Structure 1
Amino acid sequence: MSHDGVGLRAVMRSVAFLTAGALAVPVLTACSADDEEKASPVAAQDIAPAGRNQVTDGGTLRWAVDAVPATLNTFQADADATTSRVAGAVLPSLYRLDRDGRPQLNPDYLESAKVVDEEPKQVVLYKLNQQAVWSDGREIGADDFAAQWRALSGKDSAYWTARNAGYDRIEKIERGKNNLEVRVTFSRPYADWKSLFSPLYPKDVMGAAATFNDGARRKLKVTAGPFALQSIDSKTGEIHLTRNPRWWGRPAKLAEIALVAVPRDQRATALAANKIDMADVDPEEAGRITLAAGTRGSAPMQGPGTPGSTLDPAQAPHPSAAQYTTEQNGLSGFVVRKSLEPAYTQLALNGSEGPLADERVRRAVARALDRDALAQAVLKPLGLPAVPVGSHLALAGQQAYADNSGALGGHDTKEAQALLLDAGWVPGGPVKEEKKDKEKGKAAGPEGKKAAPGAEPDSDDGTYIVGGDDKPAGLDRAKADPAGESERQRTNHSDEQTATRFDGKRYAHPDTRQGGAPGAYAPKGTAAPAGVASGVLAKDGKPLTLRFVLPSGPGSESLSTVADHISRMLERIGIRTETTKVAGDSYFKDHIAAGQYDLALYSWPASAFPATDARPIFAKPVPAADGSLTVEQNYTRVGTDQVDQLFDQAIGTLDEDEERALVRKADARIWAAAGSIPLYQRPQLTAVRPNLANAGSFGFQTPLYEDMGFLKKGAKPSATPSTP
């Protein structure tokens, strides 16, 4: 998924369960705050930075998206990454993310914003830019803030909102000395107050339930960004944004941005046919472009016909070799800019039932994984840093980041085997024969079990977020190849699932069992069972077999490769996996959200505000009155009171250092519970025209739409990013 799909407040992840006392206190203090403050992103952004004086005035940027969005209201359940992309160009955001994924005050809208009182209640005073006006000429002011608060507070059920986090803590909003001063008083302390009012909609949209629910779905009459919405057409699949004549900031360099709906598997063709100028692409297409561009590419990538590839151009997935050659000629006019997305791929372990309900088995699975090898399999062929992710709640460069994986322990096959033995899984035990459904391609899990309504992918890039910038990723498994997968399989990442933006609805699961036998560690001195690697582990007459559910579809080779590696790692400790491919459009709703899996691969976006955004993903599931399990976004169904308490403490403190320390403690406990295992940061590959400046693979940073444009003749990108 793209940076725009994540937005300033990307919603996140899944949860974990921890038995009391399993985590030693020293683990929590392994990383110092000073060390984390010096952290930087694993990969720099790649946007061909150039000063505004080097960029020509005018021109149209045709930018590929997955689809025309169902709504232009980012606070509705069916908003997607394209919704966020439009909002970023045409609406106010009081804070935006810098290259390190940290929120920074946006001077186009704010002169200042600070906490002016903490006792008896928290009060934040916003002073707005005096030039900031809506496109109808009205100044942006306190009445807009008040209307958005009332709409998103959760107190009026007539508003169909996807979430109200933070807004539900506001007690009142008042004018200060004038309408450009806004005093926000909170009923309870709220650490992540900077996350609010981004984007900010006019009171014309937020002032009434009818306009909130329907008025902003297909049009935005009033805007306040460097661009304005000119038209949106579902039939042609295009959205046109044009310069806002009332914009008071740095004038937009481009005359127009056209967001063009192009499915991810058709982007190479669209690029070659001169239908688009910029598009997020998969590793296979990136390899083709690098090959076509010759020396313009920065590092070799694998793809059809590239050096080292197992695929011949004539075998490429195109109707003919002639067409492939024609497209290669067209692709020679592009380059690939690459970085890492602000999102990570994880292995999710469903702890609600079966063997993984026992924490010791989950920990054994985690200890069997060589996360370094998995990261290298995906990222090394792309020339990107192959560094495993060390946190569930932040990524390197963000202030809350700390590598807390030590709370679980590293790759250790012997320890994994000992944990399984302690849990009662022994080699060579009697195994009762059971009838198995051998129907090919049948969806995993009992027939008829569906997730509750509302579990829809949030995609503009093919990821489920469980999706991405151009789609919810589809996780698909390739056939095991002991001699080594092809490079195409290793690198194709596009259809990877990312966790969807939470739609505010809760999913029920029929089984309320939690955890397993107490004790996360095998007793000291326990010998690892001999011969596990080649024997069948069994318990109570049943073999230790886990359902590995993956989506099928184009662009899923990378996840297939990762799944194969994981299966072989688990086989070494006596765990067998049964991998089932399911349709990509049902993968999240019918399997992940419904709990019909043991193991699954999908991604979560990083958030600048993890105390708020990660809370529903790692919250302890709660049994409902009807016996079902309310899981919010915790699709691993693993949680603990300790993690919940740490999140509550973090969100309720106004001391930023204390908040980060509490978030890191929560992450360490999530690691120890082994409900989800972060693997690697997702690659971000963007095909662009060489003369396009200040655009490409943005990494963490919020795109500066007004600075994008085409270089003047003879101008070259600068070595360092331009300063706003």
Structure 2
Amino acid sequence: MVYRKDFLRAPRETSAAVLAAAVALVLAACSGSGAPAVRADDMSHAARSAVAQGGTLHWAVDALPTTLNAFATDASPATTLADQALLPTLFTLDASGKATADQDYVTSAEQVSASPQTVVYTLNPKAVWSDGKPLGVADFAGQWHALSGADPAFAAAGAAHADGYDSIASVAAGAKPHQVKVVFAHSYAPWRSLFTPLYPAAATASPQAFTDGLKTALAADAGPFTLKGAAGQGGQNTLTVARNPRWWGDRAKLDAIAFTAVAPEDAASALAAHHVDVVDLSRAADDSGNTPEATAGTEVLRASAPGYLALAFNGGTGLLADPQVRRAVADAVDRQAVADAVLKPLDLPAVPLGNHLLMGDQQGYQDDAAALGASATNAAKLLDAAGWRLGAHGDAAPGTTRVNGTKPLRLTLLTRAGSARDAAIAKLLTTQLGQVGIGLATKAVPAADFFTKDVAAGDFDLALVSWPASLFPVADERALFAKPQVNGDGSLSVGQNLSATGTDEIDRLLSQAVAATNPSDAIRLTNEADIRIWQAAPSLPLFQSPELVGIRDNVRNVGAFGFATPRFQDMGFASGKGH
């Protein structure tokens, strides 16, 4: 994803003294706060003994993956699904995001030293690639080399740099057989996120092998399933994975899984007609605004997804470069009303998200929204103080737009064209901001252009943006809030920071959180950083996105996984039921 780098001026920020005082109050208010009542997952759970042997599961995806490289810029949810069935996952997550070493691949994975940070992986001696080679140090070293950013040839070929790999100093064989020792140059708390998925050494042997070589095939795989031919081979609209005959763990119940391309608008009808067995209905619900309903022989499972919808603010230029105006906009939004409108019809808990960095069902979550005033009254006070007036006596009629001199306070909201959800939220926001004298115009653009053209060009004041959560906070999130850097010509490089805002303090806290190998310290620093982010107001979290999955009612161990890692070898059809 590419974001613009041509902002011309840095935003002003609230004074450090004011922030520090507010942080102390928020921390006191949040102490002991627990996770909101989100629905972590919703599964068709069954014991392996209750799952029939055999059959092909037809799993709908929006489009076939254009790459099997999870680290490529064009990787998609379909890439992730296929990789989870085919490649080693060293740590699996439960519904709350807790990581546990996958015994099929590593019998242990432990930090054995804090200075320098050293992790020793003891590999399962039974773990082998589909070409018969055992998993080993060469696979770890190759992936480190490809993703660390040290070799510009990989970047030039289109391989993405992955956070954490640049913190590694060395990868070598451990003291005992089947061990891999990883020594870090810089402490990296979310080390469990590394080497997942793990690619065979042949896939990282050259930049071309790691990019073009992974577009439709794998040099070798090592999951409960193995790739059956090249992806999309012969013009087919399916990618099929078959039971891996070399698999050493619990034997896969299914003969095969056929990932099948089905357009989101056709997803519900394809399930109703029993053309597919599993389909994600989240996008279809967003676009149509209709609540998915079960039909004969199907059911709909509902959970809070590992991701969230936010109102992103463009603080690099325009009226929202003033942090007081950003905070006023944030305060004017009734997040509960937005959550009610979207989540209640879906039979999900209507709970606003209170954190930029942690989801409501993740360990360490706390609601930090108290860092903002969150009321129309407070928004009006901020706007008054910033010089935006509603008239000579401040008693203009509802709908009157504030002015500063002769300049009106009017903003543009960017939404995805064709999204009923976005349209409904835009209508609510227009009313809510209008009540405090902020004019709002909605600009709906094609979904394909949303990021690549409009957001990249900075053609917005506000935008409804969906972000995936970091499975291992805050490994993937620092770039979203990193303070923009000044170029030689005076312009700003913002990287992935949509708002083009930031502070040295936020950068410091996020860096400390990433380096804190003590889990309680990492959680504390993450939430302290989040409080500062709320106060800088680069974006406003609205709610955790809904995850809606339709399945045939005879499908087992599939559903709305939330943070949980799918266990593909347990998936299948109910014993005694046709499939």
Q: Give the TM-score normalised by structure 2.
A: 0.92
Aligned: 1:398 with 2:362:
yes
1:301-320 residue pairs with structure 2 within 5 A? none
Q: Which residue of 1 aligns with 2:373?
A: 409
Deviations 1:390-447 (A, max 9, x none): 100011121231111111122x111111111111111237xxxxxxxxxxxxxxxxxx
Distance of aligned partners of 1:357 and 1:47 in 2 relative to their CA distance in 1, 3 Å threshold = same
Q: Which residue of 1 aligns with 2:7?
A: none
Superposition deviation, residue 27 in structure 1: 3.0
Q: Distance in 2 between matches of 1:283 and 1:402?
A: 28
Q: Which residue of 1 aligns with 2:398?
A: 533
Residue among 292, 301, 319 paired with 1:337: 301
Distance of aligned partners of 1:303 and 1:145 in 2 relative to their CA distance in 1, 3 Å threshold = closer
Superposition deviation, residue 116 in structure 1: 0.9
Q: Which residue of 2 aligns with 1:428?
A: 391
1:578-593 residue pairs with structure 2 within 5 A? 578-593=441-456
Q: Distance in 1 between matches of 2:337 and 2:286?
A: 22
Q: Which residue of 2 aligns with 1:255?
A: 255
Distance of aligned partners of 1:142 and 1:283 in 2 relative to their CA distance in 1, 3 Å threshold = closer
Q: Which residue of 2 aligns with 1:641?
A: 504
Name the structure where strand makes up a greater proportion of residues: 2
Q: Distance in 2 between matches of 1:547 and 1:221?
A: 48
Q: Which residue of 1 aligns with 2:6?
A: none
Superposition deviation, residue 69 in structure 1: 1.5
1:678-693 residue pairs with structure 2 within 5 A? 678-693=541-556
Q: Distance in 2 between matches of 1:207 and 1:35?
A: 48
Q: Which residue of 2 aligns with 1:298?
A: none
Q: Which residue of 1 aligns with 2:135?
A: 140
Aligned: 1:167 with 2:165:
yes
Q: Which residue of 1 aligns with 2:124?
A: 129
Q: Distance in 1 between matches of 2:64 and 2:460?
A: 32
CA contact (8 A) 2:203 2:219 kept: no
Q: Distance in 2 between matches of 1:383 and 1:102?
A: 26
Aligned: 1:653 with 2:516:
yes
CA contact (8 A) 2:547 2:560 kept: yes
SS where residue 442 of structure 2 aligns?
Answer: strand
Superposition deviation, residue 336 in structure 1: 0.9
1:272-671 residue pairs with structure 2 within 5 A? 272-282=272-282, 331-410=295-374, 412-428=375-391, 529-531=394-396, 533-553=398-418, 556-671=419-534
SS where residue 21 of structure 1 aligns?
Answer: helix
Moved more, 61-70 or 585-594: 585-594
Aligned: 1:89 with 2:85:
yes
Q: Distance in 2 between matches of 1:701 and 1:355?
A: 41
Superposition deviation, residue 578 in structure 1: 1.4
Q: Distance in 1 between matches of 2:28 and 2:426?
A: 31
Gaps of at least 5 residues in structure 2 are 1-10
CA contact (8 A) 2:554 2:577 kept: no
Superposition deviation, residue 41 in structure 1: 6.1
Q: Give the TM-score normalised by structure 1.
A: 0.74
Q: Distance in 1 between matches of 2:490 and 2:200?
A: 43
Distance of aligned partners of 1:287 and 1:53 in 2 relative to their CA distance in 1, 3 Å threshold = farther
Q: Which residue of 2 aligns with 1:182?
A: 180
SS where residue 348 of structure 1 aligns?
Answer: strand
Residue among 220, 224, 228 paired with 2:218: 220
Superposition deviation, residue 285 in structure 1: 6.5
Q: Distance in 1 between matches of 2:33 and 2:328?
A: 30
Deviations 1:549-605 (A, max 9, x none): 21212xx10111011101100000001011112122111111223221001101111
Aligned length: 561
The amino acid that maps onto 1:543 is: P
Q: Which residue of 2 aligns with 1:485?
A: none
The amino acid that maps onto 2:512 is: Q
Identical columns (%): 43
Moved more, 590-599 or 51-60: 590-599
Superposition deviation, residue 625 in structure 1: 2.1
SS where residue 59 of structure 2 aligns?
Answer: strand
- RMSD between aligned alpha carbons? 2.3
Q: Which residue of 2 aligns with 1:297?
A: none
Deviations 1:55-83 (A, max 9, x none): 00001110011111111111111111111
Superposition deviation, residue 269 in structure 1: 2.8
> Where do 4+ consecutive residues of structure 1 move more than 6 Å?
283-288
Q: Distance in 2 between matches of 1:354 and 1:32?
A: 34
Superposition deviation, residue 44 in structure 1: 3.6
